């Protein structure tokens, strides 16, 4: 069932992206299918990664996680030195024709290492706790420095929820939540664009042609959808009225074309996916498996809800993509790898995981 849900989510993402990007791609690139073709290539690669995740034991992924997390943290730090700056944020590393966004690619390994840490929280030594909490804290601060408040907040919230699920003490959780709130508040006060986003979120119509433009256009798109929507491919706001309609605000295009009914259907789909993910977590045999499943489900569904909340004006504007739907290879790779880990947890919890082949002992001569 999980595999079917992921396949449906992935197919739906391609269809929505095709509609949201076609007109802009035709105008800017001379090829209406430009973004769709690139996304298809990334989709094939990402499904290959999902297949590898399903075929590889969770124990091996957990052994790989510490090194991958450290490398990912170093790559995030490298974006601050040699990264490519887009819209005032240094989040990308350019490697020839490929751009990588380390803050996206590191997410699956945050889940894995968080599970490894919190599953054995009461048994590991204090220096190990401090080491990995320091690594997580460094990663969040580096992402915040890019600046990328939304991804930093999502990473911190993910780890906090995993710690809560693992039964970490309440005083530590309250202290971490307080520290996270203070760091986020300081970031908003220091960075002008973040402060303006919060102000424009409170009343976007006050400066509808300036700081509130993105949210106003998104609300117009969602409101124009009505009950049943304008129809697939018939969105008006995507005709370069709505900014970044293929990534952060792609839900607004979806809502305009499929209306209130389609939006509720998407939310029910996320609810179903979350329910299945929780069922998988509850059926896991070990704490590590359980926390990996909980973290994967929280990340996929939680990020989707945050993206929809931003597009509908329930939260300040952030730069979080809609998993498996928004344009972008890095987000797609990370999301489908996380889906693969969740499916692997399901297989191992049900005793259905394919075992590695063992060589038969050769008879003695």
pTM of this prediction exceeds 0.85:
yes
Residue with token string 């008006």: 236
For the record, the structure tokens of 44 come out as 């094939």
Residue 74: how many other CB atoms lie within 10 Å: 12
pLDDT at res. 226: 93
Cα–Cα distances in angstroms (integers) from residue 180 to residues 141, 173, 175, 184, in the given order: 10, 10, 9, 6
CB contact at 8 A, 244 and 320: no
For the record, the structure tokens of 295 come out as 């973290």
Strand partners, 89: 86
pLDDT at res. 92: 86
Torsion of CA 108, 114, 115, 121, to 10 degrees: 170
Residue 328: how many other CB atoms lie within 10 Å: 21
Measured between alpha carbons, how far is 162 from 247 in angstroms, rounded to an integer?
A: 27
CB contact at 8 A, 97 and 278: no
pLDDT at res. 191: 78
pLDDT at res. 179: 92
pLDDT at res. 312: 92
CB contact at 8 A, 362 and 286: no
Note the pLDDT tens digit of each residue in 270-308: 999 999 999 999 999 899 999 999 999 999 999 999 999
- Residues present in the chain in total: 365
Instruction: Catalogue the E-assigned strands of the chain.
Output: 84-86, 89-95, 98-100
Note the pLDDT tens digit of each residue in 178-212: 999 998 888 888 877 778 878 888 888 888 888 88
Measured between alpha carbons, how far is 316 from 151 in angstroms, rounded to an integer?
A: 13
Cα–Cα distances in angstroms (integers) from residue 56 to residues 52, 104, 334, 344, in the given order: 6, 21, 16, 8
CB contact at 8 A, 327 and 17: yes
Measured between alpha carbons, how far is 331 from 39 in angstroms, rounded to an integer?
A: 11
For the record, the structure tokens of 154 come out as 């999502």
Measured between alpha carbons, how far is 281 from 304 in angstroms, rounded to an integer?
A: 19
The distance from CA 336 to its chain's CA centroid, rounded to whole angstroms, is 10
CB contact at 8 A, 73 and 138: yes
pLDDT per residue rounded down to tens, the chain (365 residues): 999 999 999 999 999 999 999 999 999 888 999 999 999 999 999 999 999 999 999 999 999 999 999 999 999 999 988 887 766 667 888 887 788 999 999 999 999 999 999 999 989 999 999 999 999 999 999 999 888 888 999 999 999 999 999 999 899 999 999 999 998 888 888 877 778 878 888 888 888 888 889 899 999 999 999 999 999 999 999 987 888 899 899 999 999 999 999 999 999 999 999 999 999 999 998 999 999 999 999 999 999 999 999 999 888 887 789 999 999 999 999 999 999 999 999 999 877 765 555 455 555 54
């Amino acid at each position: 069932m999980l595999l079917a849900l992921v396949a449906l989510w992935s197919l739906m993402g391609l269809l929505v992206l095709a509609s949201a990007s076609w007109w802009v791609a035709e105008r800017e690139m001379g090829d209406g299918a430009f973004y769709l073709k690139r996304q298809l290539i990334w989709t094939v690669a990402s499904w290959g990664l999902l297949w590898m995740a399903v075929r590889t034991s969770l124990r091996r992924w957990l052994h790989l996680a510490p090194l991958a997390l450290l490398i990912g943290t170093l790559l995030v730090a490298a974006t601050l030195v040699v990264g490519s700056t887009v819209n005032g944020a240094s989040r990308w590393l350019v490697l020839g024709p490929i751009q990588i966004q380390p803050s996206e690619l590191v997410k699956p390994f945050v889940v894995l290492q968080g599970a490894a840490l919190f599953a054995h929280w009461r048994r590991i030594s204090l220096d190990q706790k401090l080491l990995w909490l320091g690594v997580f804290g460094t990663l969040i601060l580096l992402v915040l420095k890019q600046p990328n408040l939304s991804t930093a907040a999502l990473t911190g919230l993910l780890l906090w929820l995993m710690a809560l699920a693992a039964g970490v003490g309440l005083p530590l959780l309250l202290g971490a939540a307080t520290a996270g709130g203070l760091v986020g508040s300081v970031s908003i006060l220091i960075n002008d664009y973040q402060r303006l986003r919060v102000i424009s979120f409170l009343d976007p119509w006050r400066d509808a042609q300036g700081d509130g433009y993105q949210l106003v256009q998104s609300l117009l798109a969602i409101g124009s959808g009505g009950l049943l929507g304008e129809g697939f491919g018939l969105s008006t706001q995507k005709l370069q009225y709505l900014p970044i309609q293929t990534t952060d605000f792609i839900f607004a295009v979806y809502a305009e074309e499929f209306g209130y009914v389609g939006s509720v259907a998407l939310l029910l789909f996320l609810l179903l996916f979350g329910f299945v993910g929780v069922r998988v977590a509850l059926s896991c045999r070990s704490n590590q498996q359980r926390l990996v499943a909980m973290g994967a489900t929280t990340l996929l569904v939680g990020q989707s809800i945050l993206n929809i909340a931003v597009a509908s004006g329930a939260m300040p504007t952030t730069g979080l993509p809609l998993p498996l739907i928004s344009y972008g290879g890095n987000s797609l790779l990370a999301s489908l790898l996380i889906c693969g880990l969740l499916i692997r947890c399901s297989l191992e919890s049900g005793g259905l995981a394919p075992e590695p082949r063992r060589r038969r002992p050769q008879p003695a001569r």
